[in-house]
Structure formats: C-alpha cells, structure tokens
Chain A
Amino acid sequence: MTTPPPAEPSATPPAVTEEPGEKSRHRPFGEIFKESFLEGNTFTVTVLALVTATVLGGLLCAFTNPAVLHAPAGSMLGKAWDVASGTYVALFEGSVFNPHTVAALFQQASLSTAIHDGYLSAVFGPLSETAVQATPLILAGLAVALPYQAGLFNIGGSSQFIGGAILATWLGYDVSMPFFVHVVVCVIGGFAGGAVIGWLTGEIKARTGAHEVIVTIMLNYVMQYLLAYLLSSHSLLQAPGSSNPITPPIAFNAHLPLLAGTSLRINAGFLIAIACAFGVWWVLNRTTTGFEFRSVGANASAARVAGMKVERTWVLVMLLAGGLAGLAGSAVIQGTDFSLNPNSYGTYGIDAITVALLGRGKPAGVVAAGLLFGALHAGSPGMQTATSTPVQIVQVLQALIVMFVAAPPLIRSLFRLRAARAGGVGTAMSKGWNA
C-alpha cells in the first residue's frame, strides 16, 4: 500500500512465497485486518465472549426492570423477553440504523424532498453518532495499544488526553487564524500537549527505572488537578465573566470540519482516528522504528544485545502514545464539545485500556473495538427511552464483554472449546492479554 515497490508481495522471492502456510507480515493491510478477525481460536473466543456478554446483559436488563419484576408469574418470561429484546433493538436503532426513519424516507415523494426535509441525514444519524463516539475511543485506544507492542502499559490516557485538550482549547480560543490553518494548528497542538505528558512518563522510566504504570497513574492525578486549577482562574483558562469552571468556546475556525452537512455530527476527527490507526499499523509493521518497538516489547534483553537502545525506544513510544491520546482530547474539543470543562476527559483513560484490550493490542482490532463501544455509547440514550433501561447497563455490558474477552479459559470451558495448545503460536502472540 504505502510501501515502496520492492516491498510489494509480488516482489518477494519465490523461495519464500511458495512455502505453504506462509504467514509473514508483508501483505496488504486489508488482509492483515481480515486475519486479525479470523485468527482461529482468538477470534472464536472474542465472538463467543461478545455473545455471552450480550446474553448476560439481556438477562440483567430484563430482571432489573420493574415491569418484569412486578409482572404476574405467568407472563414474566414473555415480559422479560420483550424488555431484553426491546433494549437491544433500541441500542441497534440508536447506533446503526433505525427502520422507522428509513420507512419514512421511502414515503417521501422524491429524493430531493427527502434531502430537503432532512430524512436522508436522519437515516445516517445513528451511524454518524457511532463514529463520533468512537473517534476518541479509537485514538485513546491506540495510545494504549502502541506502547503495549513495546512492552509498556499506558494507564495515563486521561492525563495525556487532558494535556492535548488544554493545548488544543487554548490555541482554539486565544489565537485567531484563517479557517484551515487554525484547525490544523489546534490538532497539532493537541498532539503536542499529549506527547509532552507521554514523553515525561517515558523519560522518567528510562532515567530512573520507575514503573510506567505508577508514573502514568500519578500523572493522571497531576493533570486532573492542574486542569481544575487552570479552570478556576479567570487569568488562566476560565471563561471571562463565567462562574463555572469552563473555558471560552473555541473559534469556529478551529472546529473540525463536518463531513456530512450540518445535521450530522460526524467530523474530520473520525478520519484522523482511522488515519492514526493505519499510521500505527504502518509504523509497527513497516518501519525500522516499529521493528525496534516490537523487539523491545517482545524481548527487551535480546533487543539490547542486538544493539537497540531500549530506553530511547521507551521514551519515543510513550511520546507517540501521549500524542495519540492528546489527539483524542483535540477530537472531543474541536469535534463536539468546543470548550473544556473538568468533566471533558470523562472515562476515556480507562475506556482506552478496555478498547485496546478488546482489540488485542492491534490497530485494526482497536478500530473495531472502538466502533463497537462507540455504538454502545451512541445507542444507550435510545435504550433508556424505549425500555427505561438505565444507561449504566451499557457500562455493565462493556465490562462484561471485556471480562469475558480477557478470560479465554472461562469462555473455553463454558463452550467446551479445546485450547489451541499444539499450535502454540497464537497463545504465544497473545501473551499478557489473556494469560
């Protein structure tokens, strides 16, 4: 794809490509994307984990619902089914597409009136919402997945997110620039703000040997309180004349451009997220830097003996990871929120770990997991109105999915699957995530 001609699969010598069962890394992104989904045992476990979580989640919705609990014994099961299925239908309608709006579209006299009345955009509304919700999840998820490949566990998503968001917001409201330039400057600012925090973690680990988990957790507190402080003073970030801890709104020129008209929220942030996922894949699999990352992650002492500078690799990978989390902050500020408040960082730091975990630390997996969680977020409000299932049930569902994905032996024993022991490869590759 972006690789130079000699790296194309066709250019590889026949001696190697003829080997049956060839599974090397020099193939197009699409194929690897496909493979990461079809990877024998791992894939089966992931799907079964999703199914199990869905079933359990359904039971939970049904049997916490007052309508079900107070139903007469005879109709209880039927009622429970109604609530559970209703919940999932509402979830689907809110995140993928809603048959009612589609039906309404067909009742329009012509396509032009449909567009005029906003029906077309209404049809794509749920998908747009899913993409919007998925954008920061994918970016922050990559910020965990990338260092994982280099053997580091980045818990500092939220501090890096805040770092990026602060810089992107400040550049957004305090300076004035022409339309395109302003957006780009703010996005770069977001990356830089996060990268500084990530770099700090890497540098502390490289110089003092402090564990990155501790450092990132502590930096999370530092950044959260720094943000609270900045938002409490008019001379700093707090909006003039406001008594709330909130920044002024960023300039319109700094908004990420909308992709499908003003009625849909989907914006260029989603494209940035997808581009970053591809970029991370490219760096990891096609560059010398990525080779260092993966070597250091898989066996740091062999990497050192091979002449790699392990400490420098830590610093660089944490810097990049911080930048990615910072981009998540910029995507939220410039894409949907347009100003920064103490709740802007939400639970992205923790959700990022979940997304990376579900995506098995691979860029394509992170995109898929980000979209899934984005869909859950996008669909949850509709769920509440349709069946009065609390929004929190979505959080429980997420937790269940991750729990089952993280515990393959549990799923295997539930479904009586045989562990792929003889293969050895898959289990070796996924060490750490499911060991």
Chain B
Amino acid sequence: MELELRGITKRFGPLVANDGISLSVAPGQVHALLGENGAGKSTLMNVLFGLIKPDEGAIYIDGKAASFHSPKDAIAAGIGMVHQHFMLVPVFTVAENVTLGIEETGRAGLLDRRKTRRDVRELSHRYGLDVDPDALVEDLPVGIQQRVEIIKALVRQAKVLILDEPTAVLTPAETEELFRIVRQLRDGGTSIIFISHKLKEIQSIADTITVLRRGKVVGERTPPATEEDLASLMVGRDVQLRVSKDAANPGAVVLDVADLTVQGDHGTVSVNGLSFQVRAGEILGIAGVQGNGQTELCEALLGVRPSAAGSVTLNGRDLTHASPRDRLRAGVAYVPEDRKEDGLVGSFSVAENLILDLYDRKPFASGVNLKLGEIAKNAAARITEFDVRTGSAATPAGTLSGGNQQKVILARELGREHKVLIASQPTRGLDVGSIEFVHRRIVEQRDHGDAVVIVSSELDEIYALADRIAVIYEGKITGFRDPDVPTAELGRLMAGGVDAVTPAEAVAPEAVAPEAGTVQEEM
C-alpha cells in the first residue's frame, strides 16, 4: 500500500502545528519521522489516524484520496497505530485486548475466544513476537505490552504501522528486540512510520528519514546521513552532541551514602546495602538498566521513601531520617525522574512552579503572606536565565514542552542554595536542543563546585557527563569505573557481572584531593 500525505496543514489558533507537510511512504519501508518535541510529529500522525481533521491537504492511499473522520476509517484503510501510551486494558488477557472492539461471535452471540487466541499465536509466531495470548496484560513487561499493541494493529489488517516514540519506554535490550520485529514486519511488506527524536535509533532502523521542524518538512535523508547533519536539521543550527568539559577537579566528599537499604513498594528490598561517595566538583553517573533500584534510591536520597538501614550524610550532617524539606534546606537540589508526576504541578503557572519548594522562604513569603511581586520578579529572572520558552510566567507549566518543563525544574532547583545535585533521568524524552542545554548546565554546576549525581539508563548520557561511573544492578553497585571504560564492560556490570576491582573504588579517587586519605577507611 502506498501512502501519501499532500500539503497537510493544521492550525490550533495562532499556532501552525503542521504547515503544508507532504510525504510519501513506500510499501515495505521504514519511514522515520524525526523532530524535536513540538515539531508537529504527533499532530501529523493524529491527522493520519483520523483523530484530527486537517485544515488543508489530503491523504492519498494508492493514489486515491481518502478522508478519515475517525480512527475507525483509518483502521479500515489499513493504518494501525501504536501510541506512546498504550491503549490496553490491564486486567484483560492479551487475546481479549486484541479482540476488543472487533469481537468475533460464534453461535448464539458468544465470543469466539478460540479464533482470537489462534490469531494471536499465529502472528506471534510469524513475526517472532513471543506473546502468550492468555497472559494478563498487567503482568507483562512494557516491551511485551508494546508487542500486544502491534498485534492489535496486525489483526486489524494494518498495512501501515505508526509507531509513536516506541523506544521511549523500552530498555536497550527491549529496543533491540523491537528493531528486530520492525525489520521482520518490513520484510513482510508492512510499511512502518517510526516517530522518534533519538538520532542513533533512527540511523539504525530507517530506510528514509523525514525531518520536521516547527511544523514543516525541513529535509529528507537516507541513513548514511550523519548524526550531526540530522541534529542540525532538527534544531536549525549546529548542535554539540557531546558537552565539552574539562577534567574534574574533585574536592572534599559532599554526599556520603553508606550501606543504604531501601524497601520497594511491595516490601521487596530495592536498594540493598549500597554505598557511594560524591565529591564537590565531580559528576558521579549511576548507570543501569531501569528497574534496578534507581527510582527507590533517588526517593530515599530525597527522603520521600524511608531508608531501612544505612546512612546518608551531606557535608558531615546525618540526613538518614531527615524529612524531604530538611534535606532540601540542607542543600539537596533534586531533579526527579518523572517530571510531570513529581517535579511540577501541571495546572500551576510557571511562576508558581519556580517557587514550589521555596514558597515559604524569604523573599517569597513574609509570615503567611505570599509576596507576589517577588514571585513574579523571580519568574522573570529565571525564565530569562534558563531560556524557558513560555507564553508568559502565568502559563500553566503542564502546557509547556518537555524540554521547557525540565528547564523550569532545573531553574528552581539550581536557583536555590545547594551543595549536591541529584538528577534522575535528566533528559528523558527531551529533544536534542534541550538535552544539550541540560547537559551544559549540569557540567557548569560541577565546575562551580557542586557534587552531582546523575542517574540515567542512557549510556550516552552517562558517558557524556560522568567523571566516574557506578553501575547499579538489583539494588547494589556492581562496580565503579572511569568514563573511558568500554561499553562492553559496563554492559557486563549492568547484567550483574561481578566486580573484579576492589570495592575500595567506592570511595572517590583522591588523585587531586590529597587530604582524602582519611575517608578510605569508610569502606
């Protein structure tokens, strides 16, 4: 099936989300759609899937104009979509989810469960999806749930499959699996529209790359295109993919985490006697596959999750049982993993979000009174300093793009007096321009003498930022390495490989800090 979009234009008030976009997808091709957050990728796909009516332009299928009034029309025309957030019923089985909406009934109007299960099994087998039709969706890992979505589309005879940021929720291993499946589907004649803002992925999977910027097509490339080329197309200027940074100049130990044990949500031990130290002026990168205790570790460091054992010390002050407020006051700057859930109040204005943990301190409050003038002044200053792209300081933070939301959080946390910055997945879901900005700010903080802890499941990020790398596996640090360690070695540690080096490495290196000898005893 040949799919073509011609001159699609969609306006939301003054904003032109799609501006005369034309592109064609050949059968059996992976067509990547690359663009920053807010470039118009999702709008375009919603137009294609019948969720939004374009103001101008039309969709052609095999040369014939098609008009979609709802996803139903799009599905009937052979278009399938896997949304970034899955549309599955958690308590239903895979087969039930697949059949939902197109239930086949046998005699007396009873559901024909057997046929659906057979279909799922057959598709699963043909494309190597390895999905059990009788498994409950809620029990499945994210990667498998995504395959259920793919099966849903295939059962509905999709000839064009839209994958909206499919790797955002996947671990590196799951991503590899997904790519294998995508290639298999492509070889079977299905066209794939692959939406992403991750350059590396697009390089490895796409046959054609269309780059969108500010609602317009700014270029078409085929894979040998360099990352730098694509990145500069995306943001409209040259981007540094690696932050330039000088060698670290570590000072005294600032944050000392010793034998920390933290329970997870279901009473399991998520962080298991974990120890590390961070010095002023260095960045410790904690690498690891998601779900190995990183979330619980960060929550325990902030104090929103109690520590079962061990200690957390900041500049010699024991914070193990301190409240989040006391820790923030003691000098912890915290960038949470889930910024929408934990970092911002979406319905609050940017100005209010900028004082979310400062609202009761001078100069923003005197007694119980909020000083609205000071709050506005602070907002204006921070918005300029961090280049937050927002309509005004009164715009609800939830309406900003991910990158700008993260800038608001950074502006708030770094604007406060602090000694250590703990940032979890600081650039997850951000576009190239914002990643560059965030990385640069983090390195600047280090150069100002902050101790920095970065928790990230993106190895690129760890390599780009860390002065020292710690690998976490099942709640334990499996090893500390220098940033020039080969990927294979990190991979080995991330999979639980035993550390060949002595655990004394847990203590920060003392090459540039001669007085550090005394803390060696710690371990």
The residues of B that contact A6 with a CB separation of less than 8 Å are 371-374
A422:B304 contact, CB within 8 angstroms: no
A84 to B341, CA, bound (A): 52
Q: Which of A13, A17, A288 has the most CB of B within 10 A?
A: A288
Contact count band on B: 35 or more
Our pick among A12, A288, A304, A425 for the contact of B399 (Cβ within 8 Å) is: A425
Our pick among B342, B359, B371, B376 for the contact of A16 (Cβ within 8 Å) is: B376
**B170 adjacent to chain A (CB < 8 Å):** no
**B357 adjacent to chain A (CB < 8 Å):** yes
**B334 adjacent to chain A (CB < 8 Å):** yes
The residues of B that contact A290 with a CB separation of less than 8 Å are 370
Q: Mark A292-311, 1 if CB is under 8 A from B, else 0.
A: 10110011011111111100
Our pick among A8, A20, A288 for the contact of B370 (Cβ within 8 Å) is: A288
**B352 adjacent to chain A (CB < 8 Å):** yes
Q: Mark B367-395, 1 if CB is under 8 A from A, else 0.
A: 01111111111011000100000011110
The residues of A that contact B348 with a CB separation of less than 8 Å are 294-295, 298
The residues of B that contact A20 with a CB separation of less than 8 Å are 392
A291:B376 contact, CB within 8 angstroms: no
The residues of B that contact A7 with a CB separation of less than 8 Å are 369-373
A24:B349 contact, CB within 8 angstroms: yes
The residues of B that contact A301 with a CB separation of less than 8 Å are 341-342
**B398 adjacent to chain A (CB < 8 Å):** yes
A431 to B372, CA, bound (A): 26
**A1 adjacent to chain B (CB < 8 Å):** no
B368:A303 contact, CB within 8 angstroms: no
Q: Take A294-B348, A305-B304 as given contacts and tell me if A22 and B369 are in contact as well, using a CB distance cutoff of 8 Å.
A: no
The residues of B that contact A3 with a CB separation of less than 8 Å are 369, 372
B371:A13 contact, CB within 8 angstroms: no
**A73 adjacent to chain B (CB < 8 Å):** no
A302 to B360, CA, bound (A): 16
A422:B13 contact, CB within 8 angstroms: yes
A291:B352 contact, CB within 8 angstroms: yes
**B336 adjacent to chain A (CB < 8 Å):** yes
A431 to B347, CA, bound (A): 10
**A31 adjacent to chain B (CB < 8 Å):** no
Q: Mark A261-294, 1 if CB is under 8 A from B, else 0.
A: 0000000000000000000000000111111101
**B396 adjacent to chain A (CB < 8 Å):** yes
**A23 adjacent to chain B (CB < 8 Å):** yes
Q: Take A12-B372, A26-B373, A305-B342 as given contacts and tell me if A288 and B351 are in contact as well, using a CB distance cutoff of 8 Å.
A: no
A16:B346 contact, CB within 8 angstroms: no
A16:B391 contact, CB within 8 angstroms: no
**A15 adjacent to chain B (CB < 8 Å):** yes
For the complex formed, measure the closest distance between the CB of B382 and the CB atoms of chain A, giving whole angstroms.
Answer: 11
The residues of A that contact B369 with a CB separation of less than 8 Å are 3-4, 7, 286-288
**B356 adjacent to chain A (CB < 8 Å):** yes
A377 to B446, CA, bound (A): 67
Q: Mark B283-298, 1 if CB is under 8 A from A, else 0.
A: 0000000000000000
A289:B368 contact, CB within 8 angstroms: yes
The residues of A that contact B344 with a CB separation of less than 8 Å are 299, 302
Q: Take A288-B365, A425-B399 as given contacts and tell me if A306 and B380 are in contact as well, using a CB distance cutoff of 8 Å.
A: no
A298:B370 contact, CB within 8 angstroms: no
Q: Which of B219-227, B321-329, B506-514 contacts A (4 or more CB under 8 A)?
A: B321-329
B356:A13 contact, CB within 8 angstroms: no
A21:B392 contact, CB within 8 angstroms: yes
The residues of B that contact A26 with a CB separation of less than 8 Å are 372-373, 375-376
Interface of chain A residues 17 through 66 with chain B (CB within 8 A): 17, 19-26
For the complex formed, measure the closest distance between the CB of B481 and the CB atoms of chain A, giving whole angstroms.
Answer: 30
**A11 adjacent to chain B (CB < 8 Å):** yes
B370:A308 contact, CB within 8 angstroms: no
A15 to B383, CA, bound (A): 11
**A424 adjacent to chain B (CB < 8 Å):** yes
For the complex formed, measure the closest distance between the CB of B12 and the CB atoms of chain A, giving whole angstroms.
Answer: 4
The residues of A that contact B370 with a CB separation of less than 8 Å are 7, 286-288, 290-291
A17 to B375, CA, bound (A): 12
A298:B345 contact, CB within 8 angstroms: yes
Our pick among A287, A309, A431 for the contact of B323 (Cβ within 8 Å) is: A309
A298:B347 contact, CB within 8 angstroms: yes
B345:A19 contact, CB within 8 angstroms: no
Closest residue of A by beta carbon distance from B368: A287
B380:A16 contact, CB within 8 angstroms: yes
The residues of A that contact B384 with a CB separation of less than 8 Å are 15
**B491 adjacent to chain A (CB < 8 Å):** no
**A429 adjacent to chain B (CB < 8 Å):** yes
**A435 adjacent to chain B (CB < 8 Å):** no
Q: Which of B341, B357, B359, B360 has the most CB of A within 10 A?
A: B359
**A428 adjacent to chain B (CB < 8 Å):** yes
A4 to B372, CA, bound (A): 10
A428 to B392, CA, bound (A): 18
A–B pairs, 26, beta carbons within 8 Å: A4-B371, A7-B370, A7-B373, A12-B372, A12-B376, A16-B376, A24-B392, A286-B370, A288-B360, A288-B368, A294-B348, A295-B348, A295-B356, A298-B345, A299-B346, A302-B344, A302-B345, A303-B345, A303-B356, A305-B302, A307-B323, A307-B324, A307-B325, A307-B327, A422-B13, A429-B347
Q: What 10 A-B pairs have minimum CB-CB distances, sorted nearest first?
A: A307-B325, A26-B372, A19-B392, A306-B357, A24-B394, A15-B380, A288-B360, A306-B356, A287-B368, A422-B12
Known: A7-B369, A12-B376; 14 extra A-B contacts, CB below 8 A, are A3-B369, A4-B366, A4-B371, A6-B374, A12-B372, A13-B377, A16-B377, A21-B392, A24-B392, A25-B372, A26-B372, A305-B304, A307-B329, A309-B323
